[in-house]
C-alpha cells in the first residue's frame, strides 16, 4: 500500500504531537489541523529541516528547539487585548 504525501504528513504530525505530549506534557493534539500544519511547516522552514519527522527528532533532543517550537505554535493573545473591536464584539455577544 502506498501512502499519499498528505497521509504520510498526517502521520508525521500525529507522531510529533504525541511525542511532544508524552515527553514534555504539552498537548497540541486538539489544535485546528490546518492552522497547526501551517505553523509546523513554518517552524520546519525556520529550522531548515526537510520533514516533520526531522522536526520531531530535533524537538525531542534539543531543548532550545523545543522552546522555538512552543513559540511557533503558541498564539499571541495579547493582540486581542489591544483591539477595541474585540471588546465591542465580546460585550455584544
Q: What pTM was estimated for this model as a whole?
A: 0.77
Position with higher pLDDT, 35 vs 91: 35
Q: pLDDT averaged over the chain?
A: 89
- pLDDT-derived band at 84 (thresholds 50, 70, 90) equals confident
| pLDDT tens sequence across 45-76 | 999 999 999 999 999 999 999 999 999 998 76
The Cα 50–Cα 31 span in angstroms is 23
Position with higher pLDDT, 92 vs 83: 92
The Cα 90–Cα 84 span in angstroms is 10
- Region of residue 40 (phi > 0: left; psi between -120 and 50: alpha; otherwise: beta): alpha
3-32: average pLDDT: 93
Amino acid at each position: 500500500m502506498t501512502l499519499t504525501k498528505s497521509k504520510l504528513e498526517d502521520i508525521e504530525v500525529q507522531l510529533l504531537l504525541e511525542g511532544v505530549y508524552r515527553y514534555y506534557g504539552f498537548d497540541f493534539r486538539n489544535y485546528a489541523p490546518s492552522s497547526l500544519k501551517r505553523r509546523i511547516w513554518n517552524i520546519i522552514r525556520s529550522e531548515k529541516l526537510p520533514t516533520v519527522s526531522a522536526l520531531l527528532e530535533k524537538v525531542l533532543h534539543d531543548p532550545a528547539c523545543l522552546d522555538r517550537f512552543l513559540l511557533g505554535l503558541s498564539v499571541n493573545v495579547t493582540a486581542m487585548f489591544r483591539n477595541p473591536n474585540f471588546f465591542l464584539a465580546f460585550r455584544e455577544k
